[in-house]
Structure 1
Amino acid sequence: MLNFELVTPEKLVRADEVHMVVVPGVEGDFGVMEGHAPFMTTLKDGALEIYKSAGGEPERVMVSGGFAEVGDKGLTVLAEKAEG
């Protein structure tokens, strides 16, 4: 499972173990699963799609501004705003 955190300047919005997250990056949407290579990108305004399990329906959280970083500990999304 992928360790996923969604953070805004005000608070930690979510910290969870998930199957996959699709992130709206400025160079295109990309999916992150456990074991993804280290990566960092700026976010575009759009929906994070959070898959709790393989083949499940995604939960969508609208984000605007910020960054996404994939590292040894998983995926961290630092968004200016998150709604959903």
Structure 2
Amino acid sequence: MALKFEIVTPEKLVRSDEAYMVVVPGSEGDFGVLEGHAPFMSTIRDGALTIYKTEGGEPETLAIEGGFAEVSANGLTVLAEKIGE
């Protein structure tokens, strides 16, 4: 099974997809989220959101600025102030 994740900005839904793992630049340090991760919330610092589509695969990175991340039974939701182009 794969982790379901969404990336949202105040303007729009940027992405709704599935991945093996997403690494989020949390304000207390980077954290990786896999399918079945325990629920929690964190603020996000400016940095790189790293998306691994498959285990051991080449990662995709997105520049992200501020916001919140929520991990729930439904997956990961990243509420970002801004996503870099």
**What interval of TM-score do these two structures reach, taking the shorter chain for normalisation?**
over 0.9
User: Matches of residues 38-77 of structure 1 in structure 2 within 5 Å?
Assistant: 38-77=39-78
Q: Give the CA RMSD over aligned residues.
A: 0.6
Letter in 2 for 1:59: E
Match of 2:19 in 1: 18
For the residues of structure 2 that align with 1:80 and 1:22, how far apart are their CA atoms? 17
Question: Matched residues in 2 for 1:83 and 1:18: separation?
Answer: 20
Partner of 2:79: 78
Structure 1, unaligned runs of 5 or more: none
- Deviation of the 1:52 alpha carbon: 0.4
Q: 1:27 maps to what in 2? A: 28
Percent identity over paired residues: 70
One-letter code aligned to 1:39: F
CA distance in structure 2 between the aligned counterparts of 1:3 and 1:45, rounded to whole angstroms:
22
> Which whole-Å CA distance do the structure 2 matches of 1:47 and 1:58 have between them?
11
Q: Kindly state the Cα deviation for residue 65 of structure 1 after the two structures are TM-superposed.
A: 1.0
Alpha-carbon distance, 1:83 to partner:
1.8
Q: Gapped runs of 5+ residues in structure 2?
A: none
TM-score by length of 2: 0.96
